[in-house]
Chains A and B, each alone.
Chain A
Amino acid sequence: MTATLERRYRRLLACYPAAHRGTYGDEMIGVLLASARPGQRRPKVADTLDLFSGGLRVRLHRLATGTPDPAWRNALALTTVIAPILLALTVTVTGQALAPLAWSGSAHQLVYAFALLVPALLALAGLRWVAVGAAALTLGGTIAHAAGTAMIGIPAYSAFIVLLGVQTFALWYSAGPRQGLRLVKPVGLLIAIPWLLTTAYLASLIPRHYPVPVVIAEVGVGLIALAGLPALASPCGRRLLLLNVVIPLSGLVITILSFVHVDFYELRFTAALAAQYLPPAALSALTYYLIRRAERRPPELEVAR
């Protein structure tokens, strides 16, 4: 049935950016159907692989030529505001010494939390490349520290490290925190500030036992409110969620896998970890899927007109 085949090919077109799909989606379906065998019901494997690599190429080309859609541009600029606050609060709230030195104690923690704000402050001062350098240095230092103390396998670190990576990328690629601050909606502060205070209070009840991924999820979602009240319903807000919460948390999956692979003696411990962190990872995947589904719909409706 052509209709079945068409629906399946359309689903594969999801790997292209929405703008590309809007422009070429219809034509591509036409070409795919024209080159299908009579009675073919499933996409050919070669076509499927070709669509994946084509989608990747289009995305990379857009990235390289600096033409992401406005939602990505805004989300990346806002990320240069959100990620540093998120990183600093994570260190402050969890009481975990994520510093490149084996620091402990609340004073050191606060110093390190402040140090995490430095790249963003440098960018605010207009020193963009110094800021990117500082962010990259923090990332490198944290990875080296984690690797050096065999802590790379601790789930807390993978989420934290991935978030540092996201921040470095956003500082390098976006218009920076000045533009980001311009996008902050005053009404969002009314949500974000009480939210953050509540999280800080809850965390203070069980100091040093509040898992980093949970803080990133909670604080991250609270900070996304900065983009406005219905932020999560907007394309920019959904991308903020992806950059600041979903992607960092998805780092956990890798950690869990490495645990399972590396040390069977720790299996019970691993099972405990999986129970604790697989739900956030599954939630991340679900969020990503829902974002994609929500955004795939409009161009299809246009096509169906």
Chain B
Amino acid sequence: MTRQAIQEPTFLILTALAAGPQHGYGIMTDVARISGDRVNLRAGTLYAALDRLRSDGVIDVDREEVVDSRLRRYYKLTPAGIAMLEAEAARMQSNARVAVSRLKTLAAGA
């Protein structure tokens, strides 16, 4: 996939699903936890993203349950989604490594 850097909410949603299939509310609370409450997804943003990720083939429905007579879907990463998250994590890691090493050099030189 030739993609540009993915946006942070998308990255966090994929990271949440890397722990296993989750439903919408589960993803929402998990994203808040992963980001240290910095990113608080709301229903509108979350489901616009889930819809887009599904149509891009990055995530898929794992299973459906009915809780309190309401449909609850569990979402999971597809192989394409796993590859995308891996690539993005590697890219961020490599950028961060360069930044850290340069900051060390800067501090040593000062």
Q: Counting CB contacts under 8 A, is A69 at the interface? A: no
Do A30 and B70 contact each other (CB < 8 Å), given the known contacts A20-B51, A24-B51, A65-B55? yes
Do A27 and B42 contact each other (CB < 8 Å), given the known contacts A57-B48, A61-B52? no
Do A51 and B24 contact each other (CB < 8 Å), given the known contacts A27-B71, A27-B73? no
Chain A positions within 8 Å of B50 at CB level: 24
Judging by beta carbons under 8 Å apart, are A28 and B43 in contact? yes
Q: Counting CB contacts under 8 A, is A137 at the interface? A: no
B24, B47, B70 — most chain A CB neighbours (10 Å): B47
Residues of B in contact with A, size category: 20 to 34
B25, B44, B51, B70 — most chain A CB neighbours (10 Å): B44
Q: How far is the CA of A27 from the CA of B48 in the complex (A)?
A: 12
Q: Is the interface of B mostly helix, strand, loop or mixed?
A: helix
Interface residues of A in 1-31 (CB under 8 A from B): 20, 23-24, 26-31
Contacting residue for B44 out of A26, A55, A67, CB 8 A: A55
Chain B positions within 8 Å of A35 at CB level: 25, 28, 42-43
Q: How far is the CA of A23 from the CA of B24 in the complex (A)?
A: 13
Chain A positions within 8 Å of B82 at CB level: none
Q: How far is the CA of A277 from the CA of B51 in the complex (A)?
A: 41
Chain B positions within 8 Å of A57 at CB level: 48
Judging by beta carbons under 8 Å apart, are B43 and A51 in contact? yes
Chain A positions within 8 Å of B23 at CB level: 27
Chain A positions within 8 Å of B25 at CB level: 30-31, 34-35
Chain B positions within 8 Å of A26 at CB level: 70-71
Interface residues of A in 44-71 (CB under 8 A from B): 46-47, 50-55, 57-58, 61, 65, 67
Q: How far is the CA of A34 from the CA of B47 in the complex (A)?
A: 15
Chain A positions within 8 Å of B47 at CB level: 20, 24, 27-28, 31, 54, 58
Contacting residue for A46 out of B42, B46, B55, B73, CB 8 A: B42
Query: A34's closest neighbor in chain B, by CB?
Result: B25
Q: How far is the CA of A28 from the CA of B27 in the complex (A)?
A: 12
Chain A positions within 8 Å of B55 at CB level: 61, 65, 67
Q: Counting CB contacts under 8 A, is A291 at the interface? A: no
Chain B positions within 8 Å of A20 at CB level: 47, 51
Q: List 14 A-B contacts (CB under 8 A).
A: A24-B47, A24-B51, A27-B72, A28-B43, A30-B71, A30-B72, A31-B46, A35-B25, A47-B43, A51-B44, A52-B44, A54-B43, A54-B45, A54-B47
A positions within 8 Å CB-CB of B: 20, 23-24, 26-32, 34-35, 46-47, 50-55, 57-58, 61, 65, 67
Task: Beyond A28-B24, A30-B72, A31-B25, list 8 extra A-B contacts (CB 8 Å).
Answer: A27-B24, A30-B70, A34-B25, A50-B42, A50-B43, A51-B42, A61-B52, A65-B55
